Amino acid sequence: MLTGGCIRHNVLKQGPWLGVIRFDSTEHTMDLPFNMIYALTPDRQKVIQVSNAEEAIMITEIIFSGDSVFMKFPVFTSEIAALIRHDSLIGRYYPKGKEEGGGFQFYAVPDITDRFPWASQKPMANLTGRWKITENGGTADSSVMVGEFVQDSNHISGTIMNTGGDYRYLEGKVSGNKFMISAVDGAHTLILTADISPRGKLENGRFMGSPIWKTSWTAVKNDTITLPGMDQLVKVNTKSPPFNFDFQDINGDKVSLADPRFKNKVVVVAAIGTWCPNCLDETIFFRDMYTKYRGQGLEIVALCFEGKSFEVSKPAMERFVSQTGAGYPFLYAGPRGRGSMRSVMFSLDGRLAYPTTLYFDRKGVIRKVETGFYGPGTGQHYTEFCNETSTFIEKLLNEKP
């Protein structure tokens, strides 16, 4: 259990903290807040819990050096380096790790549990429900997303889904006619704001995920809005050569789909990135599927699109594999990017997203292709995916070679 404690000069205070990431010093209205708790476990281990709605991320890689503290998020390579200044933290958030440089301004103050403490008006509307979100409306980049939110008093949580996946766990507030919601999970750094119109629409919406990842959006309630199924966006090109791969795993050993270990097996091939939060959610699902069905003939392989070389990418891949506990092969498939992914996934036509997943039967025939992933932050959508995919894998396992 996470408990509080006493403050001493240049010693990090135990208890709740409000962290803030500042993308742009000229746009303080888009400062990204998130909730943290610093604590010592009963065996005196240091832990920082970062929360987004129902998600609790436990940071255990914490180093104190003089008046500085360094915190590394699990699974991904993001970290925070900050100075302890009396009752606050001042430093930087590095989305790709401190060694990569850059990063965004970060500060944190203790004893605050409210995610948006500066927004305290009585909400003028309840936004619970399903929303049609139009991003970059009226432009060539316009797209439709689906938001699902639950509001209790002025607290709101939920997620946003698009054809590539979901924004995972979002949490925020409704204050007066203002909507605000955010997430920090080691991969995503997201904040969305909007005005609530007198007619209940969300207008003047702003989204920011980094200094250059910015969009505008509007939304209207729509209980029937749907997105294309994950298995409808990408198809197998029947005129292409048979799909195959031949890449190094994290130990440097070559692995090919033609290897004997895959013969007469049901094989799932997932194109992922260890930097991708939706890929993390899918990996955790497949980790459990592999444990359950490996003895019945299931094999899973992850094709990882990472840095410019295997050597550069290996540490991040090793970290991802170690901390997810996935026991199947993770192969370096090339650098991150559309061209690289398309050259490897040459048998597919359509819009490829991370992750993109192929399901092979025991005869080596691709029986299903899915692109994108809706994780546990989507609630019922994730539950339905788990049930349907488990049933489909069992069906393939029960077929004869």
The 10s digit of each residue's pLDDT in 68-127 is 999 999 999 999 999 999 889 999 999 999 988 889 999 999 999 999 999 999 999 999
Domain 234-398: CATH superfamily is Glutaredoxin (3.40.30.10)
Is the model's pLDDT at 5 over the cut of 90?
A: no
Contact in structure between 262 and 361 (CB atoms under 8 Å): no
Place of tokens 């200094």: 211
Identify the pLDDT of residue 9: 45
What's the one-letter identity of residue 91? Answer: G
Least Cα distance to 320 among 344, 298, 304 occurs for 304
**What are the structure tokens assigned to 192, written together?**
């969305």
Q: Where do the structural domains in the chain lie, given as residue ranges?
A: 15-110, 129-221, 234-398
Region 212-240: what's the mean pLDDT? 94
Residue 192's pLDDT is: 98
Whether CATH 2.40.128.120 fits 129-221: yes
Angle of CA points 272, 274, 276, to nearest 5°: 75
Q: Which CATH class is domain 15-110?
A: mainly beta
Same CATH fold assignment for domains 15-110 and 129-221: yes
Q: What is the pLDDT of residues 251-275, one digit of tens each?
A: 999 999 999 999 999 999 999 999 9
pLDDT score, position 1 = 38
